[in-house]
Structure 1
């Protein structure tokens, strides 16, 4: 045990009066510097009357690998404006049990490491680290300007295994994640529009999404002036699953007596789903041979390229011509999976046509979803979805 009377800059207004090592930790007793003014933590005015004095145990940054505890005498002051308030301490937040230095240390490392690793690094309990990080994220988000979006992007991402999803909403102009909520139903996304408010909902001009009927219906109800824009990526992905995959399986079954050809068709799934420009040069002869030998696969493969052209038109007139042409080719093909897909696509024509006026897509949010997956893997998952959603919004605050 050592007695000192040191005034140190990192504990402004206090003097270290005693230092002792006990039970694998360093304990430091502080006492008020006589010349330090008494300042109200509420209004910041100087006070001259003390209501009572107590001692608070505060955690400080580790020292040489050992935890550090401070015994800090804190006074409750009688303020003429605020009433009874605790005095202000520059290096300690109100009601806090850790110093600002330790909280900043935790905040910096929580941006780079999982919470469990930060707990070992700082020597703090998991719940303490999470509480510090949550407060930091809330301060960071509250400092952002009030969003005034006019174009939105909505998409879902996997939250947990077992088909549990969450929905993210992005401001298409600033690339700021405005809201994240669990679920992908109308009821799940309704809190976003309630948070946005009637006035800002009326300012929304366009919303990009996949062909999710729940999203579509809720947007039309909440945002009367918004046009729904369907994303090409999701439509083509759906085409690959429901048309190309189905025709490939049907053709493989038809070739059950020709085992070599059946094997080639069965193993060609990823080759057929690739865009032509992404086919490796060494695989191109194999693809050409496969398509030349199978008329049905050739038809649906080329029809995918024609489908993409619907998103590349620059005016409504040429779009309508392309739309009618594509459906005429579907009717002439005689391929049942292709016809079924076309029948499902017809009711969504307005959202596809809207792409002419609003060249939007969900690609921005797809990239963000990939980073969300990395955050989730790095943390080995999150127990608290609300905390995870705070992390996502803070990670994507938008362009300055």
Structure 2
């Protein structure tokens, strides 16, 4: 029973177990191969053994034992035909390493969700060794994906200074690529790996986003995020609220006024709707922006593309030459992105999941205390967002 337990623990069924011993704090399992005669790797002839020595590799870890090692004989052999001298190697046991490949792969998996320093302290290994194993085996852990709908958004490495662009698959919530910067070149670099497969691209209203998407994904449909479109109206309402000093300076009162102005009228009580009507009568600016917002929400309720096109055209005809400067500015900003706004109404894709991923990217950045280059940071983010243990 003990022998079977050791076989299950070591997971090397092709080797024979001769025993185990403890040297200091290390448990070592003595293994060997069944009797065999390795052939020459050049001429495939018979070989003879010249010398033999035993070598140890780290092979596993348990909470009670800690690291445990395996020990195997390493033979030097000579071919009887071509006289080639070589060292016998075993699959999965690198000759120039202190650990087996399975253990290195396990350590790379263990680093997902933890810092490399934390894993190195847990296993009592050198930080540089764990770091080398992680970046050697981590790329193989990345899943393959064929995204058809992606979200593109920027995030801050450091507010006001350094920014990056991330591309996420909306179906799997996996980050596909990251580029440094937030200009058109950075967005093009981030979209390049998925440009040939993607059909829909969701983004905000940044001009660089539109230019990069048209350049890299000319056949993809550009969909504006509905939240960012509505934000144009809510920002104008917030400026008006500050100018009219509605809500005072108390946080609770300000939040209440913002909610009444941005909420749909059907979700308000009769008293709240009457209060909003009174504010609109006091300010023509507030009335025009509020009416434009509610009319656009009516356009967003369109059931078919044809109905959406008709309603959107009517909206532009009404507000593109409005007396209110804020409404004209919003209409001009949307008419330059008419197709993307129409796709925003027709399709239900949103950039909301990407905003949550941005927060996770910032947490990974802070937890790692900086990364050597953008490639390693991208690898860490892709692993954290794509693999769940």
Q: Please say whether Structure 1 and Structure 2 have the same fold, judged by a TM-score greater than 0.5.
A: yes
Superposed CA offset, 1:122-158 (max 9, x none): 22233333333333421222xx44x444433322233
1:339-354 matches, within 5 Å, as 339-354=328-343
Superposed CA offset, 1:2-29 (max 9, x none): xxxxx964274575687432xxx5385x
Q: 1:193 to 1:104 in 2, by over 3 A?
A: closer
Superposed CA offset, 1:245-301 (max 9, x none): 32223223xx9xxxxx754799525751685279999x9967864663353445434
Q: 1:244, CA displacement in angstroms? A: 2.3
Q: 1:349, CA displacement in angstroms? A: 1.0
1:184 aligns with 2:182: yes
In 2, the alpha carbon distance for the partners of 1:47 and 1:186 equals 63
Q: 1:221 to 1:332 in 2, by over 3 A?
A: closer
The residue number in structure 2 matching 1:258 is none
Superposed CA offset, 1:332-368 (max 9, x none): 8643333323322221112112335544332343343
The residue number in structure 2 matching 1:20 is 23
The residue number in structure 2 matching 1:121 is 122
The residue number in structure 2 matching 1:139 is 140
The residue number in structure 2 matching 1:4 is none
The residue number in structure 1 matching 2:237 is 244
1:211-250 matches, within 5 Å, as 211-241=205-235, 243-250=236-243
Preserved CA contact (<8 Å) 2:289 2:327: yes
In 2, the alpha carbon distance for the partners of 1:361 and 1:46 equals 65
Preserved CA contact (<8 Å) 2:233 2:289: no
Q: Which runs of 5+ in 1 are unaligned?
A: 1-6, 256-260
Q: 1:93 to 1:270 in 2, by over 3 A?
A: farther
In 2, the alpha carbon distance for the partners of 1:52 and 1:310 equals 84
In 2, the alpha carbon distance for the partners of 1:165 and 1:177 equals 16
**SS of the residue 2:350 aligns to:** coil
Preserved CA contact (<8 Å) 2:59 2:68: yes
Preserved CA contact (<8 Å) 1:56 1:71: yes
Q: Which runs of 5+ in 2 are unaligned?
A: none
Q: 1:62 to 1:340 in 2, by over 3 A?
A: same
Preserved CA contact (<8 Å) 1:39 1:87: no
Q: 1:393, CA displacement in angstroms? A: 2.3
In 2, the alpha carbon distance for the partners of 1:66 and 1:140 equals 25
Preserved CA contact (<8 Å) 1:39 1:88: no
In 2, the alpha carbon distance for the partners of 1:278 and 1:122 equals 60
Q: 1:87, CA displacement in angstroms? A: 0.6
Q: 1:16 to 1:159 in 2, by over 3 A?
A: farther
Q: 1:372, CA displacement in angstroms? A: 3.5
The residue number in structure 2 matching 1:170 is 168
Q: Which moved more, 1:347-356 or 1:150-159?
A: 150-159
In 1, the alpha carbon distance for the partners of 2:72 and 2:265 equals 65
In 1, the alpha carbon distance for the partners of 2:348 and 2:37 equals 60
Q: 1:106, CA displacement in angstroms? A: 3.2
Q: 1:338 to 1:278 in 2, by over 3 A?
A: closer
Superposed CA offset, 1:150-196 (max 9, x none): 43332223334444232222344555433232223232233455545
**SS of the residue 1:343 aligns to:** helix
1:292 aligns with 2:278: yes
The residue number in structure 1 matching 2:383 is 394
In 1, the alpha carbon distance for the partners of 2:52 and 2:243 equals 82
Preserved CA contact (<8 Å) 1:38 1:47: yes
Preserved CA contact (<8 Å) 1:166 1:182: yes
Q: 1:109 to 1:119 in 2, by over 3 A?
A: same
Preserved CA contact (<8 Å) 2:167 2:191: no
Q: 1:233, CA displacement in angstroms? A: 1.6
Report the TM-score when normalising by structure 1. 0.70
Instruction: Say which of 255, 271, 276 aligns to 2:263.
Output: 276
Q: 1:303, CA displacement in angstroms? A: 3.1
Q: 1:316, CA displacement in angstroms? A: 4.3
In 2, the alpha carbon distance for the partners of 1:157 and 1:85 equals 52
**SS of the residue 1:268 aligns to:** helix
